[in-house]
Amino acid sequence: MTSLIPAGQTKKAPSQSHKEAVNAVFSLFRVNYHNQYYKAFPDTETLNTIKKLWLNSLEGVSAEIIVAAGERIIQNSEFLPTLAQMLQACCVDSEGKPLLDARSAFIEACNAPSPKSDFSWSHPMVYHAGLKTGWHRLASSDEYRSFPIFQQQYQNLMRAMMRGENLPAIEHSPEPETKTTPLDRDAARVRLKELKAQLDK
């Protein structure tokens, strides 16, 4: 995913919450990567230019996810991140677990057994992308036809989730009906006599 803005859609001016989130992340970076930070951003003009780039690139991500991604980066990396690394850090679920790339998600969706709703998905987003693409299409179409459709659906769902939207719950298959307990011997004999009596009438 090279952009969080859907094709053909113009970018809006960054909101105040996004500006505050990016400023908060850069403050974290300044404290944690002091020497690297000042080497990368030696003056105010350079810093403001980079912040503007990050604001535009992260426009489709909720402010909460931006700050959480920055906090994860300083906990796990000794080096000042690039914008690409920041975008990747934003591609996580609510627990901070990295999401599959579209290709890996496509393979999982194609290989999942039926009923699809009962499969143990790596993330519900993979299921919903498969559902929107169409299980029949995934099973019967060539990859070069089905993958672009799945990829688009998956990226749309990822953008929605990164905006803070919730995915619908997966509706699991209903439990099979409880089997009737077989009759014991005595009850079976009585039932057999009743059936014979009915046939003799």
Residues 162, 87: Cα–Cα separation, whole Å: 10
Domain count across the chain: 2
Same domain as 122, residue 147: yes
Same domain as 124, residue 61: no
Chain Cα centroid distance, residue 160 = 9
> Residue 42 is part of which domain span?
16-90
- pLDDT tens per residue across all 201 residues of the chain: 444 545 445 556 778 989 999 999 999 999 999 999 999 999 999 999 999 999 998 988 889 889 999 999 999 999 999 998 998 888 887 677 788 889 999 999 999 999 999 999 999 999 999 999 999 999 999 999 999 999 999 989 988 888 888 888 888 766 554 444 555 677 767 776 666 666 655
Q: Which residue in 54, 122, 41 sits closest to 89, CA to CA?
A: 54
Instruction: Judge whether 193 lies within some domain.
Output: no
Instruction: Judge whether 177 lies within some domain.
Output: no
Instruction: Judge whether 201 lies within some domain.
Output: no
* Strand, coil or helix: 94: coil
Residues 150, 128: Cα–Cα separation, whole Å: 10
Same domain as 59, residue 109: no
**In the structure encoding, which two tokens stand for residue 138, read together?**
């995934």
Same domain as 109, residue 152: yes
Instruction: Judge whether 147 lies within some domain.
Output: yes
